[in-house]
Amino acid sequence: MPDWLALYYDDPLEITHGEGRHVWDSAGNRYLDFFGGILTTMTAHALPEVTKAVTEQAGRILHSSTLYLNRPMVDLAERIAQLSGIPDARVFFTTSGTEANDTALLLATTYRRGNTVLAMRNSYHGRSFSAVGITGNRSWSPTSLSPLQTLYVHGGVRTRGPYAHLDDRAFIDACVADLRDILGHTRPPAALIAEPVQGVGGFTSPPDGLYAAFREVLNEHGILWIADEVQTGWGRTGDHFWGWQAHARSGPPDLVTFAKGIGNGMSIGGVVGRAEIMNCLDANSISTFGGTQITMAAGLANLAYLVEHDLQGNARRVGGLLIERLRAVAARLPGVREVRGRGLMIGVELVRPGTDEADPKAAAAVLEAAREGGLLIGKGGGHDTSALRIAPPLSLTVAEAEEGAAILERALRSSY
């Protein structure tokens, strides 16, 4: 493996199996999982409905590529098109969020006949050459080369930066003014790509309505809006099925990218969007493994379980309790700058006590201490990886939320 392959923990962890909201390592230790394989295990580990669908499909055929029709792919495409809120939508399946964003960029730049793209500061969109080129987080940008010209605008981080002191309305107005200023100095970009809640950036988000306000400006110039829902989709934020719906005044985006949780661990990504954009390519294009039968079977079973058991509602209820519990803990710890998030997508930003300076060493220490206590969490952030990321499976129970909060409280206290 290359040296740059990131691993958590001083003593790397091998996870061998899981059930529900728990996983076990090769030494037999049991952990409450509050990160779900980077938000991929959306419903539960070893969910019987998904396991059964995968097993039955594996007994028939695993794969035939998109050169041939397959019923699971058509069924899942129809379901996602209906759930997207985009009229007359089309769906293209890929194998990851990176590939989904890569596809959206291809479609947008082809449709608009230009290679300039607007992106948000502190953003992350994947590890392909084009996705790295629009990522606004230096920790995940190993090259400055790019096939795209990228212009970064304010708004993804509410509590840092030059507009942090403003109230929400003034913050939105300032960010819109910044967008207008950028557009006054360049040819109209092809698209704005934005995460409704920035994932790798530490689960930061703008005030509700920012992207609706941006959309009004974008529409003046014919610029497309791509919502990167790789981490926020499928009800994780609790209040909405899609993260963009917190900015719904302007209607759905032109393109929505998705991945991670839809497969519950199987490799599914994709783009859903307006037909005229999705149909704009004038050359052949396929995805060898996008839409393969076994992953589509998993996605169908997982999505059905999510909707039938109202896991979006559970994320809202249990996530709300967990956020309030963690905010009560944070109020007594000088090193916790902020507890933020929506539903079961929660960030805890750490700083050096008495300052506003990021504390990545403390974040690493808390990560280790939480593991020792039997809890797995993630970390991220645009300020030297000083935010803890909490994103359990959406079936998390109240008792498990309380247990995880107690372990995290002990880990935080041990580090401050």
Report the C-alpha gap between 365 and 65 in whole angstroms: 45
User: pLDDT for 80-118, tens place per residue?
Assistant: 999 999 999 999 999 999 999 999 999 999 999 999 999
- Residue (of 278, 237, 240, 313) closest to 81 by Cα position: 278
Q: 146 pLDDT band (50/70/90 cuts)? A: confident
Predicted local distance difference test score (pLDDT) of residue 416: 77
Exposure class string for 56-81: b at 16+ Cβ within 10 A, else e = ebeeeeeeeebeeebebbeebbebbb
Predicted local distance difference test score (pLDDT) of residue 140: 78
Percent of the chain exceeding pLDDT 70 equals 100
User: Across the chain, which distance is largest between two alpha carbons, in Å?
Assistant: 61
| CA angle at 34 for the pair 32 and 37, rounded to the nearest 5° | 105
Cβ atoms within 10 Å of 192's Cβ, excluding its own? 25
| Residue 170 near residue 94, CB atoms below 8 Å | no
On the CB side of 350, CA atoms within 13 Å amount to: 24
Report the C-alpha gap between 228 and 254 in whole angstroms: 11
Report the C-alpha gap between 35 and 344 in whole angstroms: 10
Lowest mean pLDDT among 126-130, 221-225, 344-348: 126-130
User: Facing residues of 372 across strands?
Assistant: none
User: Facing residues of 184 across strands?
Assistant: none
Predicted local distance difference test score (pLDDT) of residue 139: 82
User: pLDDT for 325-382, tens place per residue?
Assistant: 999 999 999 999 999 999 999 999 999 999 999 999 999 999 999 999 999 999 999 8
| Residue 317 near residue 129, CB atoms below 8 Å | no
Q: 17 pLDDT band (50/70/90 cuts)? A: very high
Is the pLDDT at 159 greater than 90, yes or no? Answer: yes
Lowest mean pLDDT among 133-137, 165-169, 215-219: 133-137
Q: In the numeric block, which tokens belong to residue 337?
A: 């700058």
Tell me the average pLDDT of the chain. Answer: 95
| CA angle at 113 for the pair 212 and 200, rounded to the nearest 5° | 50
Find tokens 């199996």 and name the residue: 17
- Residue (of 160, 258, 157) closest to 210 by Cα position: 157
Find tokens 């030297």 and name the residue: 384
Is the pLDDT at 145 greater than 90, yes or no? Answer: no
**Could you write out the DSSP letters of every residue in 312-328?**
HHHHHHHHHHHHHHHHH
Q: 144 pLDDT band (50/70/90 cuts)? A: confident
The predicted model gives 12-22 an average pLDDT of 97
Domains contained in the chain, CATH given = 15-41+310-415 (3.90.1150.10), 52-308 (3.40.640.10)
Is the pLDDT at 383 greater than 70, yes or no? Answer: no
Is the pLDDT at 147 greater than 80, yes or no? Answer: yes
| Residue 353 near residue 413, CB atoms below 8 Å | no
User: Facing residues of 151 across strands?
Assistant: 118
Percent helix, strand and coil across the chain, each rounded to 5?
Answer: 40, 20, 40
The predicted model gives 22-45 an average pLDDT of 97
| Residue 190 near residue 115, CB atoms below 8 Å | yes
pTM of the prediction? 0.96
User: pLDDT for 385-413, tens place per residue?
Assistant: 899 999 999 999 999 999 999 999 999 99
Is the pLDDT at 384 greater than 80, yes or no? Answer: no
Can you point out the beta strands (E) in 275-381?
336-342, 345-350, 375-376, 378-380
Find tokens 């169908």 and name the residue: 300
